Amino acid sequence: MNGKGVLILLLLMSILGGGCADFRTVGRQELTGEQVALSVEQAALFRDVAKASPIIESLDGYADVWIKTPKRKNRVFCNIRINRGHEARLIVTAGLLGWPVADMFFSTDSLYVHDMLNNRLFLGSNNGLNLEKIMGVNSGFPLLSETLLGMVNITEPLSAIRSVKQGTETLIFNIATRWGSKDVVINPTNRTLSALLIKNRKGQPTTEIHFKNYESIVINGINTLVPKDIEMVLYSTGADGIGEHQLVIAYDERVFNKSRSSLRFSMPKKVKVVNLDDADILPWM
């Protein structure tokens, strides 16, 4: 990196460091309740919430994003655009001046990341390891994109429900999955997904997601509730555990189903092309 690039990066780091006082992290949720038999009403509620508002097809919004890993702690601002189930694009800015530092494009199988700080273009496959390099979370693209959208689709059938616990303001459905189990936490009053806890076959939690601050929107004359605040934490379950990776998203504004057009990534010119699969953590991480 040349001298000018170093000065810019140092300035960005100092600006980012100045915002640590209001740094947000994932808030834990106590999952307790009394086990009850699955009722017809509870089954209908589960089916309704599991659909995750299928009328929502796309999102275009602006959000504050906090990323915390065992080695890094960053706050950035993002323009987040998602075509549900297909692709996403994040334009990342940092600091009080709102300087753009990265333009990221996610397809179902590929990643394109324009590192504007150093005029580099990273190209690679869309896998968990590469997502961890650029977003701090090794979650896989389907779950990450649904988390960014605030609409996680629960695909398991009613027959997968192993138990139901009734809490003060929640219903907790424990369901069997191919890789272990899920605790699906539902608020029965407003019929929304409060949290999702994913566990492996050993019963160890691997991923925890919280959905908060729901707001009512109208799409095609239909009212639906969507969360403005989303929290995601991934736990290390390996022998060489390296701690938690957290992602917190707070939307300032957004619109849904604005456009169905492709989020095409404009390839920058005169940049150094780098294989993302071989790269280390990127500068903003």
Q: Over the stretch 232-281, which tens digit does the pLDDT of each residue have?
A: 998 875 444 467 888 999 999 999 998 767 777 888 888 999 998 888 77
Give the C-alpha separation, 137 to 13, whole Å. 21
- CA 218 to the chain's CA centroid: 23
CB atoms closer than 10 angstroms to residue 40: 7
Let me know the angle formed at the C-alpha of 138 by 135 and 144, rounded to the nearest 5 degrees: 70
Mean pLDDT of the chain: 85
Give the C-alpha separation, 177 to 66, whole Å. 30
Q: Over the stretch 161-209, which tens digit does the pLDDT of each residue have?
A: 999 999 888 999 999 999 999 999 999 999 999 999 999 999 998 999 9
Give the C-alpha separation, 189 to 49, whole Å. 12
pTM: 0.84
Using 50, 70 and 90 to split pLDDT, how confident is the model at 10?
very low
